[in-house]
Amino acid sequence: MLETIKTTLFKAINRALLKPIFGPPFSYALQRSWFEIMAKACFVPKQAQITNVLMGTIDAEKISPEQLPHNSQDIILYLHGGAYCICSPRTHRSLTAHLAIECQSDVYVPDYRLAPEHPFPAGIHDCLEAYQWLLQQGFQGQQITLAGDSAGAGLVMATIQKIMQLNLPKPKGLVLISPWVDQTLGVNKTTPYGIDPLLRWSNLEAGAANYLQGHDALDPLASAIFADLTDFPPMLIQVGSEEILLADARALYQRANEFNVDATLTEYKHAWHVFQLQAGMLKMADRAIDEIKQFIFSIR
């Protein structure tokens, strides 16, 4: 009963305080500031240690558990969401800190460049540079899990494509939370707008226009549902049943199956876009974090 009340409350908060601000007519400067403020309401466990690092030329946060096991070899490169135009490592600390603690791994979160100031493919270049930096530090590809949410999951799919094209050591797995992988918006518009407590079509349309700025939305680096997924690492896809990107997640899962990729799709009933940000406050979010942990451990 309490969990149902909390779920209803979080949805109401999203609808009242986030959804109206997330997208037009508000400027990205205002949206960025508002989401930084609202992120302070999320629970960041005190056991997480947060330090600033420079991954090549890219500013980043490193989130570590209070006591990292001596035999820990896994790390996570996490790419935050925000429709390619807003948010930062700070807005996603509640999620990345819980990942660090539950997975007993360091989590690196690059502060990649945002559109519209830095359109496609600037963010991809930054995320690839961050991955290459990890390799230069001596980490093996099979120690790295590449993870992200929403547009960040889109960047995960773009980054892994570049990794494969450059014949770099590939990460051991991909974690894709509420992935936005169709910049044409053709697939995901099959999901009714009103069902989503957070996202609006106008937000996605503006995000795609400001990110692509005339670039072809059919480019697999922009829309991974058109990508060649041959020999891709195992992937875990998580999505809520009440979000307009549900169709994207299903389409990506279908695409992975077409290329015989080891893929898992988990649809969380009554969940909204990137509900994992409520880890530590909502059991459903805790279960999703635990599923990510089990996935990472299973592909060691």
Catalytic entry in 88, 94, 105, 150: 150
Task: Name the token pair of 242.
Answer: 């009440």
Cα–Cα distances in angstroms (integers) from residue 143 to residues 135, 138, 140, 160, 173, in the given order: 10, 10, 5, 15, 9
Which of 80, 92, 98, 273 is an active site residue? Answer: 273
In angstroms, the CA 76 to CA 251 distance is 25
Whole-angstrom Cα Rg for the chain: 17
Give the Cα separation of 96 and 110 in Å (integer): 12
Q: How far are the Cα atoms of 136, 228, 258 from residue 81, in angstroms, in the given order?
A: 26, 23, 26
C-alpha to C-alpha distance for 51 and 96, rounded to whole angstroms: 13
Distant-in-sequence contacts of 33-41, Cβ < 8 A, 24+ apart? 35/82, 35/86, 35/87, 35/91, 36/88, 36/90, 36/91, 39/90, 39/91, 39/92, 39/93, 39/94
Give the C-alpha distances (Å, rounded to integers) separating 270 from 11, 196, 264.
10, 10, 19
150 catalytic residue (yes or no):
yes
Separation between Cα atoms, residue 93 and residue 95, nearest integer Å: 5
Within 137-196, where are the H helices? Answer: 151-165
The contacts of residue 107 (CB under 8 Å, 6+ apart) are 62, 63, 64, 75, 76, 77, 78, 96, 97, 99, 100
Task: Give yes or no for a cis peptide into 25 (omega within 30° of 0).
Answer: yes
**Which residues are marked as active site?**
150, 243, 273
